[in-house]
Amino acid sequence: MNTSAMKPEQVRLMIRKGEITGPTPGMCSGYAQGNLVVLPKDLAYDFLLFTQRNPKSCPLLEVSDIGSRCFSRTAPGSDIALDLPLYRVYRDGVLEGEYREVADFWRDDLVSFLIGCSFSFEADLLEAGVPVRHIEEGKNVPMYRTNLPCVPAGAFHGNMVVSMRPLPCSLIPKAVQITGEMPKVHGAPVHIGDPSVIGIRDLAKPDFGDPVTIQPGEVPVFWPCGVTPQNAVMASKPPFAITHAPGHMFITDIKNINLKY
Amino acid sequence: MNTSAMKPEQVRLMIRKGEITGPTPGMCSGYAQGNLVVLPKDLAYDFLLFTQRNPKSCPLLEVSDIGSRCFSRTAPGSDIALDLPLYRVYRDGVLEGEYREVADFWRDDLVSFLIGCSFSFEADLLEAGVPVRHIEEGKNVPMYRTNLPCVPAGAFHGNMVVSMRPLPCSLIPKAVQITGEMPKVHGAPVHIGDPSVIGIRDLAKPDFGDPVTIQPGEVPVFWPCGVTPQNAVMASKPPFAITHAPGHMFITDIKNINLKY
């Protein structure tokens, strides 16, 4: 089954029917995938403001209407409660469980936030000959908690989480330019080089995802990561929240290239 | 008095003391100025969502904390109620009056929104040799209501307002590239050429600002305009709102060049 060549609508429908249950990287080549955060309306203003104040780690692609289960602008006909392969449900900031669908959890006061994902710029990096190590090694991207504080907003606060890709020095400028052109999927790196400066002790022990090989002559390059908003949500211990499970993203009808314009 | 060479903090203080009372274009060269919208908290979520859904006409530079009179991130030490030369107060969508300061109107439930302004990209256009007609002619930029609907959000809806700059055909690509690099101050044009396509009947009769000369061989180029959010606010008839008076903007400590990154 070549899900890479399929249209987003087809793949969302197969996920909805339970015919696809795994992680989404590589599916619907050229189309943007997004991180999901669902919160009760009474926390939605603070969270929306948090994303506005931290656009590099929390680039918003869409916010649903209150109670709606559809991202009607980025994916008409979608069902937010069914169209991701795996969800996480949190109560008071504690993970209650992972679920294949969350229709039974839905409430009329929920607001859904779709946040850009670095998968969108990795295709451009590869196309331009910039290596993406975790893809080469068949792993999840390594992610780290940093000492870089987000700008707080109401109930939400926390430090930035970053993803790391090791690059040969000569390719770093190209990688900065390519990703800098895509601010809606985290944009340019936030840090290049010495991890200890941003509070990372050991690159071999990421806080999320998998460690990857750093070859001689390569420098670690760090991008703001879409785990940041989930981290902030959990830190604020909302009574109820739904997110995607890592790697199990929402696939939109928006072409990556159109996130630039 | 050369306000062009002064620092934003100095000019804001002179405005606060009543030593400057006129429009702000040309002041604090290199620094971004912004449109102001102040609304009660119970409308702030809908308005914040409106700006998220319409980023080209409503690029947000900062949102204050509830009740705060300071844009603490873009202008530490500022006083939103005193630091603009002229304000407008609206009740139920109707203009009540223009005021030199709005401290007496302030309430603990107000939220202030600062929205990017095309003044920021006009300096780059001029520097690159792209003519800006209303500056050449010493006029306000011509602005027009269009038939382009904004994406509605809760109480807020309305059509896009655009600003127009006539350009020789050969300079249009350069103007698109320069402004496209600055999405936080409206970004690339939304329309180039025939005004009737976007519902504009007569370029000689702008809805806001002044008409400007269009020379032979020039094409009208239209950018999303910061009057759009004010227009949407007025259409929703909020019980209370404060805005800047046209041309009397809030001057930030942010360099225009840093709005690109």
Distance from CA of B45 to the nearest CA of A (A): 5
Rounded to whole angstroms, what are the CA distances from B208 to A63, B73, B87, B156, B221? Answer: 32, 31, 17, 21, 16
The reply to whether A120-224 shares the fold of A3-117+237-259 is no
What are the boundaries of each domain within chain A? Answer: 3-117+237-259, 120-224
What per-residue confidence (pLDDT) applies to B261?
84
Q: Report the distance separating Cα A244 and Cα A101, nearest Å.
A: 10
A54, A58, A63, A184: best mutation site toward chain B, by most B Cβ within 10 Å?
Answer: A63
Residues in chain B with CB shorter than 8 Å from the CB of A48 are 45, 48-49, 52
Q: Report the distance separating Cα B55 and Cα B49, nearest Å.
A: 10
Asked whether residue A260 carries a pLDDT value surpassing 90, the answer given is no
**Chain B residues 32-61 with CB within 8 Å of chain A:** 44-45, 48-49, 52-53, 60
Rounded to whole angstroms, what are the CA distances from B234 to A169, A192, A194, B37, B89? Answer: 53, 46, 51, 11, 11
Local confidence band at B231 (pLDDT 50, 70, 90 cut-offs): confident
CB distance from A115 to chain B under 8 Å?
Answer: no
What per-residue confidence (pLDDT) applies to A54?
97
| Nearest CB neighbour to A52, from listed B63, B151, B261 | B63
- Residues B17-36, mean pLDDT to the nearest whole number: 93
Cβ pair A52:B44 closer than 8 A: no
CATH superfamily entry for domain A3-117+237-259: PSTPO5379-like (3.40.1640.10)
pLDDT digits (tens, 9 = 90+) for A5-47: 999 999 999 999 999 998 998 899 999 999 999 999 999 999 9
CATH architecture of B120-224: 2-Layer Sandwich (3.30)
| Nearest CB neighbour to A52, from listed B48, B53, B261 | B48
Asked whether residue B140 carries a pLDDT value surpassing 90, the answer given is no
Which DSSP helix (H) or strand (E) runs through B147?
A: strand B143-149
Cβ pair A49:B63 closer than 8 A: yes
Cβ pair B49:A53 closer than 8 A: no
Cβ pair B52:A63 closer than 8 A: yes
Q: CB contacts < 8 Å between A and B, how many?
A: 28
Q: In this prediction, does ipTM exceed 0.85?
A: yes
C-beta separation of B155 from B238 below 8 A:
yes
CB distance from B180 to chain A under 8 Å?
Answer: yes
Asked whether residue B246 carries a pLDDT value surpassing 90, the answer given is no
Which DSSP helix (H) or strand (E) runs through B161?
A: strand B159-168
What per-residue confidence (pLDDT) applies to A49?
97
Among candidate residues A247, A237, A226, the one with its CA nearest the CA of residue A58: A226
Cβ pair B151:A73 closer than 8 A: yes
Rounded to whole angstroms, what are the CA distances from B27 to A119, A202, B5, B154? Answer: 42, 49, 7, 36
